[in-house]
Amino acid sequence: MIRCVRLWTGDDDNSYFEEGVIELKPGPRGDWLSDKLAVATISFQETASGGAFAWHTAPARQLVITLSGTLDFKTRQGEHFLLHPGNILLAEDTVGSGHSWKLTDDSSWRRAYVVLQPGAAVPFRARKLQRVTA
């Protein structure tokens, strides 16, 4: 399974998160596969080490695949989660108070943004996340 953190907007307009996985099924040659996802676009971005981004919402429902860098994401309630290379963020907080992030290591943040088509199913399965509050 691939680690994935889902970030969404609650009824109170605050961003919340839960840790989970992208579910995979056995495939040929001993590989593990997901179902195909309906996507609109993919793009790549890099932020230099030391980078940060103040409060914002996701511009679209998307998967953000971290290729390098370790990030500390924060909600307005003071809850934090870390993303490491190989982790996926399912960003669904397109409205509300948003989230912020900052790089925590000396690497740049290289990532792929995979914008999902409206209503696209994502094989995300939640599991308990240890939350850290400020």
Calculate the alpha carbon distances from 86 to 2, 70, 116 in Å.
8, 10, 19
90: domain range? 2-126
Check residue 47 and report its DSSP letter. E
CA dist 42 and 112 (Å) reads 7
When pLDDT is cut at 50, 70 and 90, the band that residue 67 belongs to is very high
The total number of structural domains that make up the chain: 1
Position 40 pLDDT exceeds 80: yes
CATH of the domain at 26: 2.60.120.10
Mean pLDDT of 14-28: 96
In a domain, 24, yes or no: yes
pLDDT at residue number 45? 98
Q: Which one, of 84, 50, 48, lies nearest residue 64 by Cα?
A: 84
pLDDT at residue number 130? 52
Whole-model pTM?
0.92
In a domain, 134, yes or no: no
Check residue 101 and report its DSSP letter. E
Tokens of 32: 């593990």
In a domain, 68, yes or no: yes
pLDDT at residue number 15? 97
* pLDDT tens track for 116-129: 999 999 999 998 65
In a domain, 50, yes or no: yes
